[in-house]
Structure 1
Amino acid sequence: MTATRTAHRDVRLYEVVRSAHLERAHDFEPATIIYRDRRYDYDASLEPGLDLTQAGDVRAARIIARSHVQTLEVNEPLMLSAARRTALSVAAVRAVDALRGSHTSIVSYAIENLEPPRATGPRGRIGRWGRMRLARYVHRNIDRLAFGTDAAWDLYHDTFSAGRRQSTRIIPALPSAAEGGGTGQREAVVGFLGAFDERKGLRELLAAWPHVRAVRPDARLVLLGKGPLQPLAEDAADDDPSISLVVDPPRSAIPAALRSVKALALPSQPRERWREQVGLPIVEGLANGCVIVTTQESGLSSWLAAEGHHVVPSDAGPETLAAALVAALDDPRTPQEVLDALPLVDGRRAADQWLFERAIA
């Protein structure tokens, strides 16, 4: 049966849903998730026990309007690809509030750290202007806005002028320690987890790998993921016995894989319309006691550098990236010492508890 109302009074409106959203939903207080599309890593086995509805922009707004929503979490305002969808649902909520004399709490979690790119041509400029107008409308109607990184807070402060007062808080998007994440010493293994594409820096990592092996002949590289650069990963694994490849590993296998890795590499590369906001592989690597090697693109780069992880410029050459990888392999910290720097409560969970006005454990 097609849903016409939500099963819960708390609702999360997503543009794209992925496995990590479903995993968190099982850990968070019950809420209905309304989404438009699924990410490549969506695992349907995580669906049981959750109230999930796939709906287009207009239908999502209708469902929300027909439901007695108490708190609505929306896509962050600067997710311009979802501006129309988000604005329609916000408008629906506020229209119902006006009719009922009520006030639905609208909240959002922001990690965007890339200024909206300038458009070219009349149509492009008009489209950008329209999306930014919608983004400002959404921003004005948000009651609570949590920022997962300092970079996101800075961007929002620079983009939106002061207007209606809203509650804001920076809650770093850092994980808490995963169970078993701090056990044992680890061999000289570098891990890459995630999409095999140009943005995530797989090509740069493979270019740096011979330089790592020249200094650390015992080093091994494990590639876990899938994507358009899979042929490149396959060729590298075929040509170099120190490189192993695991294509599209199940989510259940990832924690164990990360607990065998000393350093997690995510040398993200910027694009005109994309910048690494946080990097889920970084979060999962930290939770499992890995030393991180990444670029300055991640919104967590300042925290990582301050905590002794290894951050290089995105345009660093193979030798520079290799030096950071070797330093990570030589890092004397145990996995438990990496975990000791993490918060007791997962940052995304803490943000959710604050957004939905629940006591933070």
Structure 2
Amino acid sequence: MKRTLIVTNDFPPRPGGIQSFVHGLAGRLPPDSVTVYAPAWRGCEDFDARLPYPVVRHPTSLMLPVRAVARRAAALVAELGCETVVFGAAAPLGLLAPEMRAAGARRVVMLTHGHEASWARVPVARRLLARIGGHADVVTYLGEYTRRLLATVIPEEKLVRLTPGVDTELFSPEADRGAEGTPAVAGGIGAGPVVVCVSRLVPRKGQDTLIRAWPRVLRAIPEARLLLVGGGPYRRRLERLAGSLGLGPAVLLTGSVDAADLPRYFALGDVFAMPCRSRLGGIDVEGLGIVYLEAAASGLPVLAGASGGAPDAVLPGETGLVVDGASPEAVAGALVELLADPARARAMGERGREWVTREWGWDRVAARFTELLEPAQTP
């Protein structure tokens, strides 16, 4: 059986959307056909022991395209007889592709996300991205926003759309709402409507805009609660912001939670909101936002920020709304619109669930990924 080596900085138990994407792809290949080479991360020994395929961990928490990483990856290609190498993110590890080919790889597939599209906008990074793309047989993109930027650097014939999939059985309106499965934070929410945001706490995701919007939301819907799920370096600043606005129990922050528990947190919400925004002149941008699709699969209407490819994860007016993620006024207005009309919000959630099940399921994504792994036929 043909073997594939996945070389990636982004792999669980490190949290994140790219990590979940790469993990999902690996898990849908035959276990005896795939090996993952990834950095060490806290808890990785226990995590790897539960996987049906092998994971080789680099001794540090980050892999760069340096000689030591190239040697280790090339040795795995040669030892395992891997015909295909997949880079979980094209930049920067895709620079190692020549060493992979020298070791015996016949096909190189590179996944791209939001940051590669950002590289295409910066002169020095553009040159590196062009070099990376030159070594690839296939470069994947998430949606039209990322394709358009990548195509300025990488030949269009190499570009193929490959989006993350959504586990529509795990993320479902039927997620466990019983007492045993309900997160402890539920006790502080109360009986009013809940807006939930599930994301790492960093400036681009827009949790600060949600907090700034919340006084306006409360004036219209006094019992509304904002639930921010996730950890990250922005947490203390967000807590101070909520305190300075006197929001008290109207805003709850959970801190980091296990990925397996996320469906239960979605189940606490009536609306999902992550008003992401582009930063640093468009360099820090949302590539897609798989969390919008997970929320939609959970039966929630979604509010997305108009950053990068985020609008690709929403059917505006049908599954949710897209607004300026930098505007507390726009965010508050959209949230009040959804919270004040529960019937419309539920209908959006139902349409979102149907759309994600039909267009974003893992079966479709896995079939496409498997096609991309096949080496080109030689005459």
TM category (shorter chain) comes to 0.7 to 0.9
Q: 1:36 to 1:226 in 2, by over 3 A?
A: same
Map 1:153-168 onto structure 2 (within 5 A). 153-161=147-155, 165-166=157-158, 168=159
CA distance in 2, matches of 1:232, 1:303: 28
Note if contact 2:201-2:207 (Cα within 8 Å) is conserved in structure 1.
yes
Counterpart contact for 1:147–1:171, Cα < 8 Å: yes
- Counterpart CA distance in 1 for 2:321 and 2:103 is 50
Q: CA deviation at 1:297?
A: 0.8
- Percent identical pairs in the alignment equals 19
Asked if 1:104 is matched to 2:106, the reply is yes
Given the superposition, is the C-alpha separation of residues 349 and 86 from structure 1 closer, same or farther in structure 2, using an over 3 Å criterion?
farther
CA RMSD of aligned residues (A): 3.2
Pair 1:268 & 2:276 matched: yes
Partner of 1:35: 38
In the TM superposition, residue 178 of structure 1 has moved relative to its aligned partner by 3.3
Which residue of structure 1 aligns with residue 186 of structure 2? none
2:181 maps to what in 1? none
- How far the C-alpha of 1:278 sits from its partner, in A, is 1.6
Contact kept, 8 Å, 2:126 with 2:153, in 1: the verdict is: no
**Contiguous gaps of at least 5 residues in structure 2:** 14-19, 64-68, 178-190, 374-379
1:116 offset after TM fit, Å?
3.4
Which residue is equivalent to 2:326? 315
Q: Residue type matched to 2:143 in 1?
A: T
Deviation at 1:352, TM superposition (A): 4.1
Q: Which moved more, 1:282-291 or 1:326-335?
A: 326-335
* 274 and 64 in structure 1: CA distance in 2 versus 1, 3 angstrom threshold: farther
Mark the CA change 1:332 to 1:351 in structure 2 (over 3 Å): closer, same or farther.
Answer: closer
Would the alpha carbon gap of residues 153 and 343 (structure 1) be closer, same or farther in structure 2, given more than 3 Å must change? farther
Q: CA deviation at 1:110?
A: 2.5
The letter for the 2-side match of 1:116 is A
Residues 244 and 24 of structure 1, relative CA distance in 2, 3 Å threshold: farther
What are the residue-to-residue correspondences of 1:67-146 with 2, within 5 Å?
67-77=80-90, 79=91, 82=92, 85-88=93-96, 90-97=97-104, 104-112=106-114, 113-118=117-122, 128=124, 132-146=126-140
Determine if contact 1:310/1:328 at 8 Å carries over to the other structure.
no
Instruction: Give 1:169's match in structure 2, choosing from 144, 160, 177.
Output: 160
Distance 1:96 1:71 in 2: 11
* Letter of the 1:189 counterpart: V
Offset at residue 349 of structure 1 (A): 5.6
What is the CA distance between 1:34 and its match in structure 2? 0.9
Contact 1:181–1:336, Cα closer than 8 Å, also in 2: no
Separation in structure 2 between the aligned mates of residue 111 and residue 199 of structure 1, nearest angstrom:
15
| Contact 2:109 2:372 (C-alpha < 8 Å) held by counterparts | no
Give the superposition deviation at 1:53: 1.5
Which deviates further from its counterpart, 229-238 or 62-71?
Answer: 229-238
Deviations 1:59-93 (A, max 9, x none): 2233334431122111444x2xx1xx3222x1123
Work out the CA distance in 2 between the residues paired with 1:354 and 1:228: 36
- Equivalent residue number for residue 4 of structure 1: none
Could you tell me how far apart the structure 2 residues matched to 1:22 and 1:118 are?
29
Name the residue aligned to 1:288. 298
Paired residue type of 2:229: L
Judge conservation of contact 2:300–2:345 (CA < 8 Å) in 1. no
Question: Any conservation in 1 of the 2:325–2:331 contact (CA below 8 Å)?
Answer: no
* 1:123 counterpart residue number: none
Cα 1:156–1:239 change in 2 (3 A) is closer
Amino acid at match of 1:312: V
What CA distance in whole angstroms lies between the structure 1 residues aligned with 2:233 and 2:273? 19
- Return the TM-score normalized by structure 2: 0.74
Aligned to 1:206: 211
Task: Tell which deviates more after alignment, 280-289 or 148-157.
Answer: 280-289
Measured in 2, the distance between the counterparts of 1:323 and 1:353 equals 41
In structure 1, C-alpha distance between the alignment counterparts of 2:278 and 2:286, rounded to whole Å: 7
Kindly tell me: are residues 254 and 109 of structure 1, through their superposed partners in 2, closer, same or farther at Cα, counting changes over 3 Å?
same
Structure 1 residues 289-298 or 278-287, which shifts more? 278-287
Q: 1:149 to 1:349 in 2, by over 3 A?
A: farther
| 1:115–1:155 Cα contact (<8 Å) kept | no
Distance in 1, matches of 2:215 and 2:100, equals 56
User: 1:169-220 CA distances to partner (integer Å, 9 max, x unpaired)?
Assistant: 3344463533461349996210111222212111111000111111112211
Distance in 2 (CA, whole Å) between partners of 1:310 and 1:341 is 15
- 3-state SS, counterpart of residue 217 of structure 1: coil
Q: Partners of 2:168 and 2:210 in 1: how far apart?
A: 26
| Aligned residue number for residue 351 of structure 2 | 337
Q: How far apart are the structure 1 equivalents of 2:263 and 2:110?
A: 28
Map of 2:4 onto structure 1: 10
